[in-house]
Structure 1
């Protein structure tokens, strides 16, 4: 608490006397007004607005206005992109980490690199994957907003009915396949697991850690070539194809990824690859579930993390400083513990896990302790290139064609690599 108060005191000095409002013509003696497009819904929206109210009451030199931005988090990038063509853009917006390379190229995106060097910010208290996701070519464009990772949720009743024990420590993808096959009961409409084939990012998100675990990668280090059709990639997608086509243990979800969760909640799905965002829904549905880290390859249980960012946009220097001051406060451990308790989000700072109230948070969300500990297995993020969304779309199509039995693994991946390489070759990628 002492460190947080000291940080708040130092950061408040940054904004003191900055003056101004949302319009440049406001008197310099007034509070600095900034606008945040949070893109949150339900409990998350209520929580962020509650925290903003607390900030405004304790920081008279800054006034933060909250708006949804007219979009959910999923639709924020096109909204921001359109707003940046005029002066109607906010000071802060919630954006997915995979969008960072695209948004960093805009000249109206602020550079907070020097600001986060202030010891009061405690920048290295954020997990490495988060710092990587909010930094593009050495430029820090905002603050970490949310971190997550992929785990396996298992329905205890489904497994028990199939005569299966919960996943054991150190389990493998072969174990995963065998459990999914045994849990499948076509007559009762029960599937062992599910995989999205909707063509979106959710179709590939689970494939990447399988490839990483086996020593493969998505792109070359210089991001000029795709390499996901390596032996590791073929083995990963081959395993999924065998489960879907041969074992018939996979529900192919085209909804996107929404039907799979409903099947899990209704007791018709045994194993579900997902993350912390579904825990409140599962508890509300009174599902008897457990949580396990991903299966591993040769003892490697690497997972994937999808950090999201609070990105800052530049109207003028005063507002950039005020935005950075607000975000340093919002992402401090004490405020984050409030947010986590309201939403079930994971700790974005290591120090949060040492706060007295952290155990209450763990007690509130069953299984969140496993997911929090699994952050240690999240060692990589998706490639920081503006062409990643196109690469992802090509791989998602390959996944769908393969799991539907319309293509063999090698052909599908080779075609996706050829398309990806063509996209990556475009100047400015």
Structure 2
């Protein structure tokens, strides 16, 4: 899941006001407070983040930030952090998916920033409501919003034209998606219509949830105690993927943990690619002629999925928590975020960013980013806020893999996943 404009080059060097008045008095220190961030970013995103950290360190005397990958990508950060929290080897800040918030918030070493975010310098209400919700668990603010995104369909203009297929229209359906993928497939040229992950991670289920939602289904029951993804809506969604994979042979099954889908798309071997704004920087660098469309719809419903991610803060001592809040207040300020957005193609996490002078340059830099931004209106639901979600997701990911590999049928695979999910949800404290 989940990745500088000249106009703001001067602005970003000006430090955002520090978060003050939120911590108890501490004894003066002889040097800056040193904190560590596990960012979990890769390639362009990692370079951009490290660049911003360097600028922060150059403009702040009281806080020194060091960065590490944490030994994991964003996908693998939760188990890394969970293991680290059993000792004193955990960071002050870590990048974690928003869906993990209910799980990680239960750990007593997670800081509560509820008082810190009230500082005027933070501009808490400037963040989108969905982001504030994703980083707040039972009234406890566990960090700062990091990323907001949503899923769209990227398409290769030249490949579709060669196949005699028109680009997706605003009212296209999943039947259109299947037809386009089938026509774009060229086995002799190693070209596939689309791809789907079967490596067992969140990438496998990320695209299935909107299909289920659009058809009137859901992931869990309203009380969060029972799995309902094996409803007719779920079976219909997975059956479409099965037909595209086994019958049409238009789907490249990506079994690599490194996820080859993006590379296939960049190299011109993929017609349609379900992804989001985090890949636009790489596509631009690859000089690919691509277009962006909202997800295919069901009965006019083009609901998508959005996954706000968080910078979660962990407690060592009060000075370090305060330093972490100061850094994150600066990092998530509009000027710094516009630099990050320009480097990575990420969406604005604050409303005020859209009013900066460099925002129009950002829109021009990433063709189609306006479509992705507008698509936030189609992001109406989030993944279930339960500590058991990672396990539920893994059961469904396995069901998808078993079906697309021809080892099971959609109903059997989803029913088995639902049975396992129900057992996990029944555990006290879920």
Q: TM-score, normalised by structure 1?
A: 0.90
* Structure 1 equivalent of residue 73 of structure 2: 72
**Distance (Å, rounded) in 2 between the aligned partners of 1:17 and 1:402:** 56
The one-character-per-residue Cα deviations of 1:108-130 (angstroms, maximum 9, x if unpaired) are 10011232234442223222332
1:94-105 matches, within 5 Å, as 94-105=95-106
Question: How many angstroms does 1:29 deviate by?
Answer: 6.0
**Distance (Å, rounded) in 2 between the aligned partners of 1:374 and 1:257:** 27
- Contact 1:218-1:383 at 8 Å conserved across structures: yes
**Distance (Å, rounded) in 2 between the aligned partners of 1:118 and 1:300:** 40
**Distance (Å, rounded) in 1 between the aligned partners of 2:15 and 2:120:** 8
- Contact 1:149-1:304 at 8 Å conserved across structures: yes
* Structure 2 equivalent of residue 273 of structure 1: 274
- Going from structure 1 to structure 2, the CA distance change for 1:7 and 1:33 (only over 3 Å counts) comes to closer
Structure 1: 4+ residue segments shifted above 6 A: 4-7
**Distance (Å, rounded) in 1 between the aligned partners of 2:257 and 2:89:** 32
* Structure 2 equivalent of residue 58 of structure 1: 59
Structure 2 unaligned segments of length 5 or more: list them. 1-7
Question: How many angstroms does 1:423 deviate by?
Answer: 0.8
**Distance (Å, rounded) in 1 between the aligned partners of 2:126 and 2:241:** 37
When the two chains are superposed, the root-mean-square deviation of aligned CA atoms in Å is 2.5
Give yes or no for the alignment of 1:314 onto 2:315.
Answer: yes
* Structure 2 equivalent of residue 295 of structure 1: 296
SS in 2 for 1:121: coil
Question: How many angstroms does 1:261 deviate by?
Answer: 2.5
Question: How many angstroms does 1:44 deviate by?
Answer: 2.6
**Distance (Å, rounded) in 1 between the aligned partners of 2:190 and 2:69:** 39
* Between 120-129 and 312-321, the greater mean CA deviation after superposition: 120-129
Question: How many angstroms does 1:16 deviate by?
Answer: 9.5
Give yes or no for the alignment of 1:358 onto 2:350.
Answer: no
Question: How many angstroms does 1:266 deviate by?
Answer: 2.7
Question: How many angstroms does 1:69 deviate by?
Answer: 2.9
1:102-121 matches, within 5 Å, as 102-121=103-122
Give yes or no for the alignment of 1:401 onto 2:405.
Answer: no
The one-character-per-residue Cα deviations of 1:328-384 (angstroms, maximum 9, x if unpaired) are 121011110011112222211122112110111122222222222222222222112
SS in 2 for 1:215: coil
- Contact 1:198-1:257 at 8 Å conserved across structures: no
The one-character-per-residue Cα deviations of 1:61-81 (angstroms, maximum 9, x if unpaired) are 333333333433333323322
Give yes or no for the alignment of 1:13 onto 2:14.
Answer: no
* Structure 1 equivalent of residue 3 of structure 2: none
- Contact 1:202-1:257 at 8 Å conserved across structures: no
**Distance (Å, rounded) in 1 between the aligned partners of 2:329 and 2:98:** 18
Question: How many angstroms does 1:55 deviate by?
Answer: 2.7
Give yes or no for the alignment of 1:211 onto 2:218.
Answer: no
- Contact 1:15-1:61 at 8 Å conserved across structures: no
- Contact 1:196-1:252 at 8 Å conserved across structures: yes
- Going from structure 1 to structure 2, the CA distance change for 1:318 and 1:416 (only over 3 Å counts) comes to same
* Between 311-320 and 119-128, the greater mean CA deviation after superposition: 119-128
- Going from structure 1 to structure 2, the CA distance change for 1:345 and 1:167 (only over 3 Å counts) comes to same
**Distance (Å, rounded) in 1 between the aligned partners of 2:237 and 2:258:** 20
Aligned residues: 420
* Between 167-176 and 368-377, the greater mean CA deviation after superposition: 368-377
Structure 1 unaligned segments of length 5 or more: list them. 21-26
Give yes or no for the alignment of 1:164 onto 2:165.
Answer: yes
* Structure 2 equivalent of residue 23 of structure 1: none
**Distance (Å, rounded) in 2 between the aligned partners of 1:52 and 1:19:** 25
The one-character-per-residue Cα deviations of 1:81-132 (angstroms, maximum 9, x if unpaired) are 2322222322211122222222111101001123223444222322233222
Question: How many angstroms does 1:42 deviate by?
Answer: 3.5
* Structure 1 equivalent of residue 348 of structure 2: 347
- Contact 1:173-1:297 at 8 Å conserved across structures: yes
Question: How many angstroms does 1:425 deviate by?
Answer: 0.6
* Structure 2 equivalent of residue 382 of structure 1: 383
- Going from structure 1 to structure 2, the CA distance change for 1:49 and 1:282 (only over 3 Å counts) comes to closer
Question: How many angstroms does 1:12 deviate by?
Answer: 4.2
- Contact 2:97-2:309 at 8 Å conserved across structures: yes
- Contact 1:275-1:371 at 8 Å conserved across structures: yes
- Going from structure 1 to structure 2, the CA distance change for 1:117 and 1:297 (only over 3 Å counts) comes to farther
- Contact 1:19-1:31 at 8 Å conserved across structures: no
